[in-house]
Every structure is written in structure tokens, then in C-alpha cells.
Amino acid sequence: MTSTAFDLFRTSDDHEELRAAVRELVADKVTPYAAEVDESATYPQAAHDALVASDFHAPHVPEQYDGVGADALATCIVIEEVARGCASSSLIPAVNKLGSLPVILGGGEEIKQKYLPRLAHGEGFSYGLSERDAGSDTASMKTRAVRDGDDWVLTGQKSWITNAGVSEFYTVLAVTDPDAPRGKGISAFVVEKSDPGFTFGAKERKLGIKGSPTRELLLDGVRIPGDRIIGEPGTGLPLALRTLDHTRVTIGAQAVGIAQGALDLAVDYVKQRQQFGKRIAEFQGIQFMLADMAMNLEAARQMVYVAAAKSERNDPDLPFFGAAAKCLASDTAMAITVDAVQLLGGSGYTQDFPAERMMRDAKITQIYEGTNQVQRLVMARQLLGR
């Protein structure tokens, strides 16, 4: 068997050097502010500035558009390492990829040249798909885009939009042909923060990821030029779902990072905490919990990395693996953070330690970019050939 076969099961030296660089940055510029960001529910500006300065804010942008051209696995490693210190901050690179990927996958050269260099230079990109009554059922969206001469006029709202109000650009899905068959008359557009008639709702009051603002997008007759449509009219929903096949992998990476942070915290704590005259790490029951946490975390990480490789190659089975990576990693993160709180005991239930924050942050990874129930539907339909 050649060495190439074994290389499939380990990251490259370049990937590990990237991990070390991000980990150092996070320890210095991100983690120290994570508790304050959560407590005050304020955007992690220090982390933002550090990530932009180091080109970690949108590492996926190709080199021809002034980006660093990181592959899908490298982007996942960046998100994982940032999430290890602060989940809210990890949404900066994650959402920049989510918001801009429709442009990369479905846009022509003109729209790529217009927006991707600006993203590479630090302007954020969010994603507007969900609505109040169109969450998992995306095809039932009501936001409309009507052609008016060479322009499009958008009216409606989008809900649960991550980093809304911070990002400069928004991929927005809207119905352009209400008479088309279900899901066939939806198109994708780029809306800019400064467009007249485009405003934001109040910040949602959330359980976790409090440093990342979640707001509605409100579109009141927003007029945009015709060159802001991404691809052809009517291709928006397939493009949106294809985007999610790729970016669900990054949510898996975020979940792995949160879980790794919780496991690290738990290991450090049980090695120091003493009861009955010895460190609690010496108790077999504690050791069994740690072993299960580490085992399940590594399984989730490997699933995410395999899915990232499939994303990079655009393999035909990516829909299954993207859903599986997101589902497994987020379920694992939720379980590990709950166990971390348990291992810290009363201390885990207080804000003096980050375990409770990690547990709250982990929950959203089971919900956004498709609930884990939807991920299981995606996987089952792939198995059944639907």
C-alpha cells in the first residue's frame, strides 16, 4: 500500500501549521474577550479585527479575487480553532463563506469581481434564506423580487440572519416567478447594506452565540441593479441548497471546536480538583466520561474532515456527508458540553467558568443551517435515491 493511501487519514503539514497559527491568534486576541462578549451580547470586534488582519476572516476566497485561497479543510480548521475559544467569533469566517458561496458557485465573473475582493479585504457577507414562516420549508418563502426595467425591486423579510447589521453584503433569496412550480421561481440576489429601503430588525435575545447579532432583514421596495442577480432567474433555490451542502461542513467544524474547548476545560479541571484526598481525575467514573467525550469528539472531527475533502472535490455524495458531518458533530458537541458542565460540578453551572457558555453555544449547531431532523431526512433520501 502506498503512502498516499495513508495520507488520506491525516492532515498535511500545511494544515497543521495553519492550525498552530490560528490557535496562537485565538489565545491572544479571541479567548480573552469571549466571556465579556457573551455577557454583554456585543459583537466581538477585537476578534474581527484580528481575523481580518491575519486573513482568517474569509480564508475561502480564491486567490484571483485577492483572497488566500484556503481549501475547504483549511477553512474548517480556521473555524474549528476560533470556535474552540469563542463560538460567536467563529461565525465571522463561517458566515462569510455561507453568504458568499452562492456568488462563487453560481455567479458570473462580473459579480465575483465586484464582491469577492471586497470580502477578502474585510467587508462581511451574510445569507438571507429563512423567513418567519419558511424555515425548514424554504420553498414557501414570500419575499418577492419584481423586475422593473433593468432593475429588480425586492419586498419582504428574512429571519434569523447571522451577523445582520454588521455585514456589508447579503445574499437574499426571493420569488421572481410566483406562477412557477414550487421552488422553481426563486432567484438569488446580492443586497448591499447601504441600499435604500433595506433595514434590520431588533437583535434577537438568544440562549447562546450572543456576540453574533441575529436580526431580521427588512426589504421595503429595495431597488437593485440587474447585475446583482446571481446566475439566471429561477435558479436560486437549487443554488441555496447546493450552498448548504458545502457550508454544513463548516457548522460541523464549529461544533467540533466548541466540543474541543469544553473537553480541554474539563480535563484541566479534573486534574486540579481534589475530593476524598485525591484528584478527581483518578476516579474511574471520571476517566470513563473523559474517554467517551474524546472518542466521540474524534469521530466527529474525522467525519467533518472527510466531508471537507468531499466539499473541496465537489463529490456527488457531498449532500450525505455534509448533512452527516453537521448532524454528528453538533449532537456530539451538545453531549460533550453537557458532560463538561457535569464534570465541573457546581463550578460548571456558574459563569466563573466557560463550560456553561459552551453548552449554550453548542445548542444552535443542532438548529441552524438545517435542523438535525432535516439532516436525517437529507441522509435518508440520499440512501433511498431520492
Residues designated as active site = 369
List C-alpha distances in Å: 107 to 32, 87, 184, 227.
39, 30, 18, 10
Query: Strand 169-175 to strand 125-128: parallel, antiparallel, or no bridges (unpaired)?
Result: parallel
Judge whether 170 and 222 are in contact, CB under 8 Å: no
Can you state the angle between helices 284-313 and 72-85, rounded to 10 degrees? 150
CB 265 within 8 A of CB 127: no
User: 349 by DSSP, 3-state: which?
Assistant: helix
What residues are paired with 141 via a beta bridge? none
User: What residue type is 308 in one-letter code?
Assistant: A
CA 50 to chain centre: 19
Compute the half-sphere exposure of residue 258: CA atoms within 13 Å on the CB side of its CA. Answer: 36
With b meaning 16 or more CB within 10 Å and e meaning fewer, what string describes 56-71? bbbbbbeeebebbebb
Where does the chain have alpha helices with state H? 3-7, 13-29, 31-40, 45-53, 72-85, 87-106, 109-120, 236-272, 284-313, 318-344, 355-364, 372-383
Residue 103: phi and psi, rounded to 5, are -65, -45
Single-letter amino acid code for the residue at 205: R
Burial class (CB in 10 A: 0-12, 13-18, 19+), 165: middle
Residue 145's closest CA among 177, 179, 170, 168? 177
Strand partners for 188: 173, 230
Task: Report the C-alpha gap between 231 and 102 in whole angstroms.
Answer: 9
